[in-house]
Amino acid sequence: MSVLSEKILNLPSVPGVYLFKGGSGRVLYVGKAIRLSERLRSYLHGTDTRPMIPDLMAEAVDLDVIMTGSDAEALLLESTLVRQHRPHFNILLKDDKSFPYVRVSVQEEFPRVSVTRQVKPDGARYLGPYVDVGNLRRTLRELRRVFPVRTCRNFEDYRRRNRPCLYFHIKRCAGPCTTRSALTPPEYRALVDGLLLFLTGRDEELLVRLRAEMAEAATSRDYEGAARRRDQIHLLESARTPQNVVVPNARDADVLGIARHGSRASIVTLRVRDGRVVGKESRVLAGVAGAPDEELLRSFMVQHYLARSDAPGRIVTAREPADREALLESLQRANARTVALVTPTRGRERRLVELAERNAAHALEDLDARASGRRARFAPGVLDLQKALGLSVPPYRMVCFDISNLGAEHAVAAVVAGENGTPRRSLYRRMRMRRPGPDDFAMMREAVSRYWARVESGELPRPDLVVVDGGEGQLSAARSALDEITTRPVAAIGLAKREETIVREGAPAITLPRRSPSLRMLQQLRDEAHRFGLTYHRMLRARSRLTGALDRIPGVGPARRAALLKAFGSVAALRGADADAIAREARVSTVLAERIVTALRETPGERTPARRLGDQ
């Protein structure tokens, strides 16, 4: 028996934290348990089905446990140890350094405002993160008309020379570096405080303060000061963006939205203060493959909120996090206040959760797009379909297979592709079925196998989702073909025509709302595959009818049929020629030429099938 197994079997049934370690003593995974013995035995017996468990147990050679007095204490300790060791197999919260912050150096006598992408423990105050640095800089430029706070790096040089920069002359800086402004440190600090109030969403409080100062200046006959406050009030009121009150009693809250893509997830926090959304924060979770959303929310809250003491009194999520009660107790201990975890199903808070989820999808997609050099955004239908089907990645590229046949002859398969909800005609393929007989399942298996062989060879790009026109039988046939040839897992669904039911693998079928953008996108893809396949099928049938008229003439075999078509180009041209012309051009006997003329006149004329987009 290994050392690891002996330690696990000797553990008591008490709350605590456990640390799996590798050969060099490096911490591989940190977890917490209500009962250490039962939780850790699940690792040995294989009852824990998370994808990372086999790799973890293959690398782990040692185990440490720390027993605690309660589940809440274990959760707090887990948060500390994960931040300290940053284990490879834990879901890790990563700061997204790509978003800008507003930095206000409040530790200085005359604070400076700047934009930065790095948060440092230097005593300054950081506000953010913000999404669009261009919009952020434009907003700060407008705010400096109201709060002319300095932005210069070389403040001491200007102060030593007693010479202001251009911003002082155009009234975008109050000029604390020069005696010409006659500005005192308390007056400058009031400007900075006003800017901070506005950036943190407390502009109503700021307006009340400015109106009081304007009235006081007017009473004391400081009319210039009153005019400055009046102008500031006017600019602030024009700069404010009205928002709907989120809750009637204006409670502070954080609204969390989550989005996933492969082994990464993004969680966006909308900060609601005094009933208004005042900011957004984006974080990335790594190593989330196979973990449910409830576990991701728990990991985020443990690493984000238990490391600080300023959590709001209300945290709003789409679903309850794992270990809700222990997490709630730990949050209240860390913040020394009551914290509520809310999962709304309707109303304004539910709409805010959906807004946070869209922002999370946008943030994660932006990271993936920059990494792959792709500029396109996911269409709403793509994201809705990912959510409806529970896919790990958005189905950016989809292919749909459709079989078209009447009887045993001229069976064809059509494959159409779409990217981001729009057709990609360069990836369309059509093929004649080699398998005889009207066996839809066998033909679906053949079509998927032949198409996917080109995918695996690199001739065609790899789809994110396979759609088959049909039900469980067609989907099962497609899956059997994929399992034989694919080297990477791919999701597959069936779309039944009558009720527009989506058939899933290993899960009950679902029916999306008729107006759902994801259902509309699937319908368009399926209908396009049906049109493409039916057009090809009709073309083959028409061609067969025309060439079959020559095959039925005695004395015309494959060689003479080829000679006749080469000489005249088509059966229609051949039908319009007389016997002498046929004998001369095709070099056949006069008797055979007359026989051909007689046979073709008895055959109905050529009909060219019309190509209609609406063919079903």
575 belongs to a structural domain: no
Q: Are residues 492 and 394 in the same domain?
A: yes
Q: Where among 200, 215, 239 does a domain terminate? A: 239
> β-pairing, 491-495 with 465-469?
parallel
Helix (H) and strand (E) counts in the chain: 21, 19
Bridge partners of 348?
Answer: none
Residue 233 within a domain: yes
Instruction: Please check whether residue 592 lies inside any domain of the structure.
Output: no
Residue 247 has pLDDT above 50, yes or no: no
Q: What is the pLDDT of residues 204-220, one digit of tens each?
A: 777 787 788 888 888 88
**Is the pLDDT reported for residue 417 higher than 90?**
yes
Q: Are residues 126 and 229 in the same domain?
A: yes
Q: Does residue 86 share a domain with residue 114? A: no
Task: Specify whether the CB–CB gap between 339 and 326 falls below 8 A.
Answer: no
Q: Decide: residue 321, CB within 10 A, 0-12 exposed, 13-18 middle, 19+ buried.
A: buried
Segment 364-383 mean pLDDT: 68
The answer on 84 and 12 residing in a single domain is yes
176-189 pLDDT tens trace: 998 888 888 888 99
The pLDDT score that the predictor gives to residue 373 is 53
pLDDT winner (highest mean) among 89-103, 270-284, 292-306, 397-411: 292-306
205 is a domain residue: yes
* 402 and 510 housed in the same domain: yes
For 232, the token pair is: 């500031």
Residue 172 lies in a domain: yes
Is residue 361 in a domain? yes
Q: What is the CATH number of the domain that holds 312?
A: 3.30.420
pLDDT of residue 356: 85
What is the domain-level CATH number for residue 47? 3.40.1440.10
Of the given ranges (125-139, 360-374, 562-576), which has the lowest mean pLDDT?
360-374
Least-confidence region, from 123-127, 150-154, 271-275, 379-383: 271-275
Specify the pLDDT at position 497. Answer: 75
Boundary of a domain, candidates 341, 367, 393:
367
Q: Is the pLDDT of residue 437 over 70?
A: no
> Is 208 found in the same domain as 288?
no
Residues 409 and 516 in one domain: yes
Are 479 and 492 spatial neighbours (Cβ–Cβ below 8 Å)?
yes
Residue 47 lies in a domain: yes
With a cut of 80, say whether residue 570 has pLDDT above it: no
pLDDT at 583 over 60: yes
Q: Report the number of distinct structural domains present in the chain.
A: 4
278 shares its domain with 363: yes
Mean pLDDT of 554-582: 81
Residue where a domain stops, chosen among 497, 521, 545:
521
Domain containing residue 288? 253-367
pLDDT digits (tens, 9 = 90+) for 39-65: 888 888 878 777 788 888 888 888 888
Query: Rg for the chain (alpha carbons), in Å?
Result: 36
- Answer yes or no: is pLDDT of 452 > 80: yes
Q: Residue 99's pLDDT is what? A: 60
Residue 403 lies in a domain: yes
**In the numeric block, which tokens belong to residue 134?**
């261009």
Are both 128 and 215 inside the same structural domain? yes
Rounded Cα–Cα distance for residues 81 and 19 (Å): 9
Q: Which residue has the higher pLDDT, 173 or 208?
A: 173
pLDDT on residue 277: 66
Do 106 and 201 belong together in one domain? yes
**The one-letter amino acid at 177:** C
Do 218 and 127 have their domain in common? yes
The tens digit of pLDDT for each residue in 489-546 reads: 899 999 987 778 899 998 888 988 888 888 999 999 999 998 998 888 788 776 666 5
Strand arrangement, sheet containing 62-67: 27-33, 16-21, 62-67
Q: What is the CATH number of the domain that holds 405?
A: 3.30.420.340
Task: Report the range out of 77-81, 135-139, 335-339, 481-485 with the highest average pLDDT.
Answer: 481-485
Both 399 and 504 in a single domain? yes
Q: Provide mean pLDDT across the span 21-40.
A: 87
For residue 492, give both structure tokens.
């597959």
pLDDT mean over 5-15: 79
